[in-house]
């Protein structure tokens, strides 16, 4: 029995040694080099990838930690020899109809551009694949330097948002129709659309501030004059922000209008109910008097059908008089 236990321990020990000798998994790093410029793409980064970046590019540890964190603000940090950016973009989940913001980071230096993201920014991934597969793309985008390559990436990202903006505008038209349709509850649609607009604004307004700041700082990393290109990019982002501002104001008007119309409908229903309550009040008063356990004129002890008819006629006359009064006062 002791020999078997010892043999079993020896087998487990050999397995442990074998596992210890297994080499660590290599970092998932992709790169494209054209001339003296290299684009390094890091998708779904972990500490393994950030350690590789720290070893090969000597990036500051605080910037690498920001790449792993998912709760950063849009910003630009200046380090010796390179710039570090945090950008955000809107991400819409069609199943839950919830819009959230996701972030991606970029390091830009004299002869490199490093992008770090979770893989959900399709325009970035598509541009990287295009440059991998097509030499014409590499020649067009890389010859202008890392600053021009970053512009191309940002330009594609911003342009890809315009279909989303058109979708928001079309949804707002549908909400406008729902607000004035009494058979549709528009409050939920207004709330969902307002939440989406708030998320979009939280993405693009800080991004616009970053673009204003980065225009002058990015020139030293560009071989050509990129002023006109970044001015065009600013025009696009300004148009998006202005449109989102208009959407915000319009959706607030829709919300106030829906609340006003809903209040009016409720008041109209309550008014009708109050009219019915006022009409039935004399009936209740008379029936209450004759329902008491006392002798009353026309009661059980000395009653007849004539008294009943008189009571009914009296109630009808009172109801008709009240309806006429309500109509004269334009309550109904």
In this predicted model, what pLDDT tens digit does every residue of 288-308 receive, in sequence order? Answer: 766 655 455 555 555 556 766
Measure the CA–CA gap between 177 and 172, rounded to whole angstroms.
9
Instruction: Tell me how far CA of residue 318 lies from CA of 281, 283, 299, 306, in angstroms.
Output: 10, 9, 21, 18
**Rounded to whole angstroms, what are the CA distances from 29 to 46, 89, 195, 211?**
11, 22, 36, 27
**With bands split at pLDDT 50, 70 and 90, how would you rate the model's confidence at 24?**
low
| pLDDT for 171 beyond 80 | yes
How far, in Å, CA of 332 to CA of 320, rounded?
13
| SS3 of the chain: helix, strand, coil, percent, to 5 | 65, 15, 20
**Among 283, 275, 286, which residue's Cα sits nearest to residue 323?**
275
Q: Is the pLDDT of residue 206 over 80?
A: yes
What are all long-range contacts of 101-105, with beta carbons under 8 Å and residues at least 24 apart?
A: 101/199, 101/202, 101/203, 102/70, 103/70, 103/72, 103/74, 105/63, 105/66, 105/67
| Residues facing 86 on adjacent strands | 75, 105
Measured CA to CA, the distance from residue 41 to residue 30 in angstroms comes to 5
CB neighbourhood size of 274 (10 A): 12
Q: What is the pLDDT of residues 252-293, one digit of tens each?
A: 888 888 888 888 888 887 887 787 787 777 777 777 766 655
The answer to whether the beta carbons of residues 48 and 25 sit under 8 Å apart is yes
Q: What's the whole-number average pLDDT of the chain?
A: 80
Q: Which tokens in the block code for residue 172?
A: 């707002």
136, two tokens = 């014409």
Higher pLDDT, 178 or 26: 178
Structural contact between residues 107 and 77, judged by C-beta atoms closer than 8 angstroms: no
| Per-residue pLDDT, 143 | 85
Half-sphere exposure of 155 (CA within 13 A, CB side): 15
Q: What is the pLDDT of residues 117-160, one digit of tens each?
A: 887 788 888 899 989 888 888 888 888 888 889 989 999 889 88
Q: Is 6 exposed, middle or buried (0-12, 13-18, 19+ CB in 10 A)?
A: exposed
Instruction: Give the Cα separation of 12 and 14 in Å (integer).
Output: 5
Residue 258 is encoded by which pair of tokens? 């829906």
Cα separation, 296 vs 291, in Å, equals 10
User: Where is pLDDT greater, at 292 or 232?
Assistant: 232
Q: Are strands 98-109 and 112-117 parallel, antiparallel or unpaired?
A: antiparallel
Q: DSSP strand E in the chain: where?
A: 30-34, 37-43, 75-79, 82-93, 98-109, 112-117
Element (H, E) at 263: helix 227-290
* Residue located via tokens 């494209």: 32
Cross-strand pairs, 79: 82
The pLDDT of 68-80, averaged and rounded, is 87
Q: Judging by DSSP bridges, how do beta strands 112-117 and 30-34 pair with one another? A: unpaired
Report pLDDT for 10.
46
Residue 40's pLDDT is 93
Range name among 49-53, 102-106, 164-168 with the lowest pLDDT average = 164-168
| pLDDT of residue 20 exceeding 60 | no
């Amino acid at each position: 029995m002791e020999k078997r236990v010892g043999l079993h321990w020896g087998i487990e020990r050999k397995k442990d040694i074998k596992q210890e000798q297994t080499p660590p998994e290599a970092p998932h790093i992709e790169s494209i080099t054209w001339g003296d410029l290299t684009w390094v793409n890091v998708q779904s980064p972990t500490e393994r990838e950030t350690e590789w970046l720290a070893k090969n590019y000597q990036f500051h540890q605080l910037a690498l930690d920001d790449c792993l964190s998912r709760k950063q603000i849009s910003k630009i940090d200046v380090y010796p020899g390179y710039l570090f950016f945090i950008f955000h973009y809107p991400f819409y989940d069609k199943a839950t109809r919830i819009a959230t913001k996701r972030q991606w980071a970029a390091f830009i230096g004299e002869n490199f551009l490093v992008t770090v993201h979770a893989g959900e920014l399709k325009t970035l991934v598509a541009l990287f694949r295009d440059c991998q597969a097509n030499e014409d793309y590499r020649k067009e985008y890389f010859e202008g330097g890392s600053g021009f390559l970053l512009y191309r990436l940002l330009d594609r990202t911003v342009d890809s948002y315009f279909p989303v903006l058109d979708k928001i505008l079309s949804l707002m038209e549908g909400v406008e129709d729902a607000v004035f349709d009494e058979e549709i509850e528009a409050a939920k649609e207004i709330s969902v659309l307002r939440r989406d607009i708030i998320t979009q604004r939280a993405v693009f307004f800080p991004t616009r501030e970053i673009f204003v700041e980065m225009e002058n700082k990015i020139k030293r990393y560009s071989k050509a004059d990129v002023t006109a290109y970044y001015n065009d990019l600013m025009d696009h982002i300004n148009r998006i922000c202005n449109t989102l501002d208009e959407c915000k104001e319009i959706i607030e008007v829709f919300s106030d209008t829906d609340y006003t119309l809903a209040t009016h409908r409720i008041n109209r229903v309550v008014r009708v109910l109050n009219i019915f309550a006022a009409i039935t009040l004399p009936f209740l008063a008379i029936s209450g008097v004759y329902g008491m356990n006392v002798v009353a004129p026309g009661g059980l002890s000395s009653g007849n059908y004539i008294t009943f008819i008189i009571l009914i006629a009296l109630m009808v006359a009172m109801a008709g008089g009240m309806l006429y009064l309500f109509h004269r006062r334009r309550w109904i």
